[in-house]
Chain A
């Protein structure tokens, strides 16, 4: 503990600076019209980063094009064969193989789920598209797994390699997917190889991480017992270390598969292959929502089946009663081959078993479209009023400020000076009350939000916003975080990304805040009630395994294209992490502490709010951190439904083939994501310190 007098003076000083910072923000925002350079960063001060990048890229393409094209041709080779094979494979044989693998991974329930999913795909007539996507997965996953495993082993043995890999992997996962589709597209040329390479780049990091963890976490007793059994270096690695860590490594395969699938679906945006992602996108663009939904469900099913199968194979318990002999040991492989061969023979005789006949398919899209239209018409008054309420009270004020939003059309009255005075009085009263109760942080938060909502993020002026953010960074994480904030701002301002970045922050911030509140609430409920938790879990699993775009479809169907749909889609995607982390944190509060509190006579709600929630705070904060990361990655995808921020720029860059524009916007987004991560870590540190300090 520092001396109280010293602490008090430093407290008083920081309060003074807060007041000064907020006052200057207010002044700048109020009088910005007289100084136009304040509102948006003057174009003359920006660096022509876009041009430099384009020139640089032109040079790279010019110099290395043959190399990349050759690489592309090499990669196309396995893809050609695999997709050729899957295209030739009779549906009946494919189904039999998939169902047997499903049985192996998860017994009858998973076998039935696999069979049911395939039946849906066949009935919808989407077998060929699905096989085209599967071919990309089948080629990119083994390559990503090999790459990831190799790098993981290197990282395990050499801390230096690991130190180098960690930031590289963080970047490949925080730079929005679209942003690096672009350089790949330019370097490797148009075609399915782009999806393949993007899939590998995006999907190898989980393999590296799980490999390192798996190899490292083998208990020392096991390693030593291997050594004492007389293992050579190679035996120790393959028979002991890698084998004992295999489960973790296979979990890496599971995560890699899911990441690759996700990226492959996103990559279909560049078109050119008749895969299932392209089917969703192209129908979505034509506003054929029914068709889009039908195909979107295929993606969702494919994701779930692949997830459950790879997860099931990773965590499968060893065979408790192993069979002896050649047939016993190779039972599974022989069953698959035998069943496939038999089915193939049958298919030779019955053409219907080779190609699913057209008259066995159904087309629910028309009916779906009609149904949706009827529903939307019927529910329009309610939906519209919900949408408008949220837009007028939250989305727009955060963007352009209450001062510009309030009007007869939106709020039902015209804003006067007296309304502003009333608003100011309300904010002052709220923060005064908080201050009087000793909650200084709360008081400052109320004033800051009051200010932001009044003027709107876009009207804070860039010097004002920067000042506020840097000071906030300093208060959260000291000089270091203030410095990183400054660096991020310099990047964003000097590349001329500020205006769009603010809009990204507005949309994503709102969505993340909403998903954090909703998710934490649901997480608390799930931690308190087992039945609720059981209901929530499969929903979470589904939302999380779903390739991002699929979430867009139902939202657009109901709310049409626009910012509100983007908001909902981001919330749906980002809400899972806070739910999970909150529930996990609450459920893992030490039993002793709970018993002690109970014996002191804490009620159920006191137990929750005074004991469990504070102790679970580190986990809840992790949930927030994850929600931000998920939110940012979804932001780019929502550019498809017409937002007006960095994601849109990336999308434009991609569709025009302008590398510089897209790349700068992608980097800006990564910078925002990394900075947000730093803030979360800083808060987390403070919470941890508080929890530790509270202990005697």
Chain B
């Protein structure tokens, strides 16, 4: 399923302090040992040996507690922060080797970024903010207007073109931020906690908008959040960071079902199991079942099957890839699996 790799981040380090370079000279230390050396040497390693790939059209989420280094990593990807070590490959080309001029060209055409506090220019109105990157490129007014109008419609801001940021709600301001980052038609889309400054209700609504836009545009995305439920909703794959290191990478289900340690389990522990269980995990064999039960795929999420189950109290047949009968989901089997899953340690569910 994954397409070609769009962005690849390898052994990336960012170290704050007076002289980070000296730690990388002729060292064979393991990353953790090296990081410890830096800390005792009065330096602050904010990103430690970070590595991951983002595939074309994939939404890759990085999550972690405050201060774990998420913003640092995402800024290293666009060189808003200059990494101290490692590689960032965009379409196979090392970004860290680019000159300032080349970097500006890449930012103008290939990258878009959305910020937690929106980063709107207070003296420009909506349409001017959105066409700002186009204006910097020196596009004609005609083209600017056409492209801005397109993204304004995409984010649902039609009618507010001439408002100023101070006249907009937080949710609307972030729509402007999103539209601006999309105006250059970037291939790589970076979002640093875009919805964290918003109320829970608006946040939920914006996540839906985000998913809708992504279904249309299919960008390659790096999305930062500290909210696991948000990650669960939008991530194809995700990484969990702790104190500058990535502790685990995988699909949300993998992290929930097989957390590598208690730190990851703490994030995933809060998630209601019904959000992650899939049909094949809740089946019972029912030889004498009535014919003509609705059929569902084994990977369907249980949460989405609930209305169907309500309409068909006798159960739902789960059929494998070649039409093999795997079992039936019934109200009783569902409740039983859920009960087992909620009470057990998450890592046992997969085996249970």
Q: Is the pairing of A and B real? A: yes
Would you call B12 an interface residue if the criterion is a C-beta within 8 Å of the partner chain's C-beta atoms? no
Task: Indicate whether A230 sits within 8 Å of B133 (C-beta atoms), given known contacts A219-B119, A221-B117, A225-B119.
Answer: yes
- Complex contact A227–B80 (CB within 8 A): yes
- Say yes or no: B121 contacts A244, CB within 8 Å: yes
A246 near B123 with CB under 8 A, answer yes
Complex interface: chain B residues within 8 A of A67 (CB): none
Q: How far is the CA of A226 from the CA of B180 in the complex (A)?
A: 11
Residues A321 and B115 in contact in the complex (CB < 8 Å), given A225-B120, A230-B105, A232-B104: no
Which chain B positions have C-beta within 8 A of A228? 78, 80, 107, 111-113, 133, 181, 190
A225 contacts B115, CB within 8 Å? Answer: yes
- A231 beta carbon closer than 8 Å to chain B: yes
**Closest residue on chain B to residue A235 by CB atoms:** B136
Most B-side CB within 10 Å, residue of A222, A229, A231, A318: A229
- Quick one: CB contact mask for A297-324 with B, threshold 8 Å, 1 for yes? 0000000000000000000001011100
* Alpha-carbon gap, A228 to B123, bound state (A): 18
Please name 9 pairs of A and B residues whose Cβ atoms are closer than 8 Å in the assembled complex, sorted by A: A221-B117, A221-B118, A224-B80, A228-B113, A230-B104, A230-B109, A232-B104, A239-B136, A244-B123
* Contact residues in B for A321 (Cβ distance below 8 Å): 162
Contacting residues, chain B, for A587 (C-beta < 8 A): none
Is B184 at the interface (CB under 8 A from chain A)?
A: yes
Q: B133 contacts A229, CB within 8 Å?
A: yes
Chain B neighbourhood of A231, CB < 8 A: 104, 136
A230/B107 in contact, CB under 8 A = yes
B160 adjacent to chain A (CB < 8 Å): no
In the assembled complex, the Cα of A318 lies from the Cα of B118 at a distance in Å of: 20
Secondary structure type dominating chain B contacts? mixed
Q: Does B85 contact A (CB under 8 A)?
A: no
The residue that B137 contacts in the complex, of A230, A240, A243, with Cβ under 8 A, is A230
B123 x A225 contact (CB < 8 A): no
For B167, the chain A residues whose CB sits under 8 A away are 320
B116 beta carbon closer than 8 Å to chain A = yes
Contact A221 B116 (CB under 8 A): yes
CB distance from A657 to the nearest CB of B (A): 51
Q: State whether A229 touches B107 (Cβ < 8 A).
A: yes
User: What is the CB-to-nearest-CB distance from A329 to chain B, in angstroms, rounded to a whole number?
Assistant: 13
Say if the beta carbon of B23 comes within 8 Å of chain A: no
Kindly list chain B residues whose C-beta atoms are within 8 Å of the C-beta of A244: 121-123
Kindly list 5 other residue pairs between chains A and B, CB separation below 8 angstroms, not including A225-B115, A225-B119, A231-B104.
A222-B120, A226-B121, A230-B108, A235-B136, A244-B123
Residue B132 interfacial (CB < 8 Å) = yes
* Interface status of B164 (Cβ within 8 A of chain A): yes
Collect the chain A residues with CB atoms within 8 Å of residue B113's CB: 224-225, 228
Which residues of chain B are within 8 angstroms of A318 by Cβ–Cβ distance? 123, 125, 164
The dominant DSSP class at the A interface is helix
Digit string of A206-238 for contact with B (CB within 8 Å is 1, else 0)?
Answer: 000000000000010110111111111001000
Closest chain B CB from A221 CB (angstroms): 4
Give bound CA distance, A321 to B167, whole Å: 13
Q: Do the beta carbons of B123 and A229 come within 8 Å of each other? A: no
Determine the chain A residues whose CB is within 8 A of the CB of B112 once the complex forms.
228
Residues of A within 8 A of B111 (CB): 228
User: How far does the Cβ of B163 sit from chain A's closest Cβ, in whole Å?
Assistant: 8
Interface code A319-335, partner B: CB below 8 Å = 1, 0 otherwise?
Answer: 01110000000000000
Does B136 lie within 8 Å of A229, measured CB to CB? yes
User: Which of B75, B116, B132, B190 makes the CB contact (< 8 A) with A229?
Assistant: B132
Chain B 148-192 interface 0/1 with A at a Cβ cutoff of 8 Å (1 = within): 000000000000001010010000000001001100100000100
The 4 closest A-B CB pairs, nearest first, are: A230-B108, A225-B119, A221-B119, A229-B133
What's the least CB distance linking B69 to chain A, in Å?
17
A149 to chain B, nearest CB (A): 18
- The distance in angstroms between the C-alpha atoms of A231 and B217, with both chains bound, is 25
Map CB proximity to A onto B60-76 as digits: 1 under 8 Å, 0 otherwise: 00000000000000010
A225-B180, A229-B180, A230-B107 given as contacts; is B121 within 8 A of A240 (CB)? yes
A322 touches B162 (CB 8 A): yes
Partner of B115, one of A221, A230, A320: A221
Contacts of B75 in A (CB 8 A): 224
Residue of B nearest to A225 (CB): B119
Chain A contacts for B177, CB-based, 8 A: 225
Q: How far is B133's CA from A224's CA once the two chains are assembled, in angstroms?
A: 12
- Cα-based distance from A320 to B111 in the complex (angstroms): 31
Give, as a whole number of angstroms, the nearest-CB distance from A157 to chain B. 17
- Tell me, rounded to whole Å, the shortest Cβ–Cβ distance linking A240 to chain B: 7
Rounded to whole Å, the gap between the CB of B132 and the closest CB of chain A is: 6
Contact mask A232-263 → B, CB, 8 Å, 1/0?
A: 10010001100110100000000000000000
The CA of A255 and the CA of B101, in the complex, are separated in Å by 39
In the complex, A229 Cα to B107 Cα: how many Å?
6
When distances are taken between beta carbons in the complex, the residues of chain B under 8 Å from A221 are 115-119
CA distance A51 to B268 in the complex (A): 83
Q: How far is the CB of B101 from chain A (nearest CB, A)?
A: 8
Q: Which A residues are in CB contact (< 8 Å) with B136? A: 229-232, 235, 239
Separation of A228 and B136 alpha carbons in the complex (Å): 11
Name the A residues within 8 Å of B122 (CB-CB): 244
**Which residue among A225, A320, A322 has the maximum number of chain B CB atoms within 10 Å of its CB?**
A225
What separation, in Å, do the CA atoms of A36 and B104 have in the docked complex?
Answer: 78
Whether the Cβ atoms of B121 and A219 lie closer than 8 Å is: no
Instruction: Give A322 to B163 CA distance when docked, in angstroms.
Output: 11
* Residue on B nearest A321 in the bound complex, by CB: B162
The residue of chain B having its C-beta at the shortest distance from the C-beta of A224 within the complex is: B80
Tell me the nearest residue of chain A to B75, going by C-beta: A224
Q: Which residues of B contact A232 (CB under 8 A)?
A: 104, 136
Which residues from 475 to 533 on chain A have a C-beta closer than 8 Å to any C-beta of chain B? none
Complexed CA–CA distance, A225 and B118 (Å): 8
Bound form: Cα–Cα A231–B108 in Å = 8
Instruction: Name which residue of chain A comes closest to B166, CB basis.
Output: A317
Question: Which residue of chain A lies nearest to B183 when distances are taken between CB atoms in the complex?
Answer: A229
* A222 to chain B: closest residue by CB: B119
**Complexed CA–CA distance, A320 and B123 (Å):** 11
Point out the residues of chain A lying under 8 angstroms from B121, CB to CB.
Answer: 222, 225-226, 240, 243-244
Closest Cβ–Cβ distance, residue B303 to chain A (whole Å): 35
Are A230 and B184 CB-contacts (below 8 A) given A219-B117, A221-B116, A321-B162?
yes
* A509 CB to nearest B CB, Å: 45
Query: Hey, which chain A residues are within 8 Å of B80, CB to CB?
Result: 224, 227-228
For residue B70, give the distance in angstroms from its CB to the closest CB of chain A. Answer: 15
B123 touches A243 (CB 8 A): yes
| Contact residues in B for A240 (Cβ distance below 8 Å) | 121
Q: Which chain B positions have C-beta within 8 A of A226?
A: 121
Q: A279 to nearest B CB, angstroms?
A: 42
Question: How many Å from the CB of B243 to the closest CB on chain A?
Answer: 23
* Residue contact A224 to B164, C-beta cutoff 8 Å: no
Residues from chain B with a CB closer than 8 A to the CB of A239 are 132, 136
B115 near A224 (CB under 8 angstroms)? Answer: yes
Residues of B within 8 Å of A219, CB to CB, are: 117, 119
Considering the complex, give the chain A residue whose CB is closest to the CB of B81. Answer: A224
Complex CA–CA separation, A318 to B123 (angstroms): 7
The CA of A239 and the CA of B136, in the complex, are separated in Å by 9
Q: How far is the CA of A229 from the CA of B138 in the complex (A)?
A: 12
- Cβ–Cβ < 8 Å partners of A230 in chain B: 104-105, 107-109, 133, 136-137, 184
Q: Which residues of A contact B107 (CB under 8 A)?
A: 227-230
Cβ-closest chain B residue relative to A230: B108
B111 to chain A: closest residue by CB:
A228
Q: Which partner residue on chain A sits nearest B116 by CB separation?
A: A221
**Cα distance A235–B104 when bound, in Å?**
11
Chain B residues with CB below 8 A from A235, complex form: 136
- In the bound complex, residues from chain A placing their C-beta under 8 Å from that of B133 are 228-230
Cα separation A572 to B108 with both chains bound (whole Å): 58
Q: Which residues of A lie under 8 Å from residue B190 when comparing CB positions?
A: 228
How near does chain B come to A218, taking the closest CB pair, in angstroms?
A: 10
A469 CB to closest chain B CB (Å) equals 42
CA distance A231 to B133 in the complex (A): 8
Q: A228-B78, A230-B184 are in contact. Are A320 and B119 (CB under 8 A)?
A: no
Distance, CA A231 to CA B75, complexed state (A): 16
> CB distance B123 to A224 under 8 Å?
no
